[in-house]
Amino acid sequence: MITVSVHPTAEEACATAASEVIKGLRIRPELVLGLATGGTMRAFHAALARLHRSEGVSFARAMIFNLDDHVGVPADHPQSFRRFMRETLFDLVDVDPARCFMPDGMAQNLDAAAAAYDRQISAAGGIDLQILGIGRNAHIAYNEPGSAHDSRTQVVALAAQTIKLAARAFAPAAPPRRGLTMGIGTILEARRIILIAGGADKKQAVARALAPPPRTACPASALQRHKDVLFCLDSAASFGADRLGFGARMPM
């Protein structure tokens, strides 16, 4: 079941999502948390760091699994997802680096690395709370349109639109064309999922994700199959929620 929470700004949507993570850590300090990268996550990570400082909630016993990684982009590259996580969150809170994991896009055997990542998640007891963004083509993680809803962590070819959007950040070098990502099936095994979206450029993707039925042409529509999903949206991204019968609500 999907619940929709609409906020005046993207920052407020991120703050609501961050407060849900902090609540989870209070209840279970050993929370297994799935995290994401991308522009939306900068404000979300900043909100997490603020709440960590102001409320004194620790990440030290949490375990963190990131959704995806570029294939062939080393950890010290300016556009590395590993570097993004360090700079926007891990260096700002008290995470234990030994308890933070990411698919290894530099592995010599990517298929083996993908299978090993799913085993790591299973060994941790599964993900308690998974954070997601959404792409303009409604991809979640690097699961592009056409991805099977029961897919596991896997190597994927990135869609032309995804590559084009990344090109400016990687210029003058060519952007990556493949990713190593949690599959949609892996994501759906999380006990709870929060998707964050802000901006008018995401409103069509959000509307498609909410419109039944679940279909492989719209990866995010697979979230309709899950029992506990919260969409945290700003008003610009919320187009379609009320039209589709979702009880869009403002946070208390």
* Structure-token match 């991120």, residue found: 14
To the query of whether residue 30 is one of the catalytic residues in this protein, the response is no
The active-site residue out of 12, 144, 149, 226 is 144
Catalytic residue status for 137: yes
Distance CA 57, CA 249 (A): 27
Catalytic residue among 7, 45, 52, 68: 68
> CA-CA distance, 247 to 4, in Å (whole number)?
7
- Set 139, 149, 226, 234: catalytic member: 139
Instruction: Look up 139 and say whether it is catalytic.
Output: yes
Instruction: Choose the catalytic residue: 45, 52, 128, 137.
Output: 137
- Indicate the Cα dihedral angle 111, 117, 122, 126, nearest 10°: -130
> Which residues are annotated as catalytic?
68, 137, 139, 144
